[in-house]
Each structure stands twice: as C-alpha cells, then as structure tokens.
Amino acid sequence: MLTGELPTTIGDLTNLQGLYLSGNQFSGEIPIQLAKLGDLEYLDLSSNELTGKLPPWIGNVTSLSDLNLSYNGFHSSIPHEFKNLSRLNVLDLHSNELSGPINTIFDKKIDDLFGNFLTIDLSNNKFSGPIDENIGEKPAMAPITSLILSNNPLGGMIPRSLGNLSRLQVSVPFV
C-alpha cells in the first residue's frame, strides 16, 4: 500500500493515458503538476485519503473519459471548469464531502456539460435542494444511463422527466 502525498513527478509522464492509484493511502491534495498530463484518459484516485477542494485544473485535462475520485475527503462544489470535460463518460465522485445545490451541477448550461456521460455517481455527499423538474428533457441528458444521487439531502419530488434513464438511484434522505 502506497502512502504519503501523490508525487509531483507523475506530471512529468506527459504521455500517460491511464493513472490508477486506487486503494492506497495517499493524502493531501492532488498536485497541480498532474495538469500536464494532456493525454490522460483514465484517472482513478479512489479509495485514498485525499482532501481539499476538487482542483479546477482537472477541467483542463480534456482528454479524460473516466474520472473516479470517490472515497476521499474532498470538500467543495464541483468546479465550473469541469464543463470542459466533453469526452467524459464516467464521473464518479461518490463518498466525499462535496456540497452545493444540485441544480448548479445540472443547470441551464447542461448542454455544455456532460456531453458524453453514461454514468454520474454523486451519492454519499452533501448536495442539496430539489432536482430541476425538466432535467430529463435536456438533450445532453439523453446518453446518461445511470444517475446515482443517493444519500444527499435532496428535497422535492423525483422529476418525471428522469423516466428515460435505465438506472436512477435516489434514496433517503430525499424529502
């Protein structure tokens, strides 16, 4: 099991396409040097002890198709820069301390976001508020097959427009 902070020298591996460091005990923040990984398609830093805010620079690694930062201690909202991740198929941020109104993620500019998403897992965080009742009618939501929002303090009704998803998971404490 690897421990300590993520080495900044990983950023020197500029041809790297996949970085899988799940299930270790890395701590601290994700170093900005990883922003130099312009060919990175897969980033899995899940199940570590990483903390701090989600780094906005991740939104500049536009080659990413799979981002898994689950089971860490990130505490912030999802950075606006994540809208640049137009190739992303899987976004897994579950089991962190992320917060903010859920509709700021799925806002009116959703067509700029989530262009190719198949799976979004935001469960076990602190996202709040009601889900926009028209969310499922937005064209960018069409390719999404799995939306997991369980264990967030959401409110309101589950929108009927989400009926086209093949997997929707929203459980208590939905009020």
| CATH code where residue 119 lies | 3.80.10.10
Residue 163 inside a domain? The answer is: yes
Q: Are residues 119 and 67 in the same domain?
A: no
Residue at 90 is within a domain: no
Q: Please, which pLDDT band fits residue 84 given cuts at 50, 70 and 90?
A: confident
- Do 52 and 6 share a structural domain? yes
174: pLDDT strictly greater than 50: no
Of 32, 115, 123, 111, nearest in space to 70 by CA: 123
Q: Closest by alpha carbon to 102, among 72, 143, 59, 135?
A: 135
Residue 81 included in any domain: no
**Same domain as 147, residue 109:** yes
What six digits make up the tokens of 158? 């589950």
Residue 121 within any structural domain of the chain: yes
- What was the pLDDT predicted at 139? 64
Is the Cβ–Cβ distance between 60 and 35 less than 8 Å?
A: yes
Q: How many domains does the chain have?
A: 2
Whole-model pTM: value is 0.89
Instruction: Assign 141 a pLDDT band (cuts: 50, 70, 90).
Output: low
Clarify whether residues 11 and 46 are in a common domain.
yes
119-136 tens-digit pLDDT = 889 999 999 988 877 777
Higher pLDDT, 159 or 92: 92
* Distance, CA of 46 to chain centre: 11
- For 151-168, what is the mean pLDDT? 80
Q: State whether 54 and 107 are in the same domain.
A: no
**Cross-strand bridge partners of residue 26:** 4
More confident residue, 140 or 22: 22
Is 153 part of any domain? yes
Sheet strands side by side (includes 42-44): 18-20, 42-44, 66-68, 90-92, 119-121, 146-148, 167-169
Q: How many CB atoms lie within 10 A of CB 128?
A: 14
Mean pLDDT of the chain: 87
**Is residue 49 domain-shared with residue 106, that is, in the same domain?**
no
- To which residue do tokens 């606006």 refer? 80
Q: Which domain, by its residues, includes 35?
A: 1-72
DSSP state of 104: H
Residue 85 has pLDDT above 50, yes or no: yes
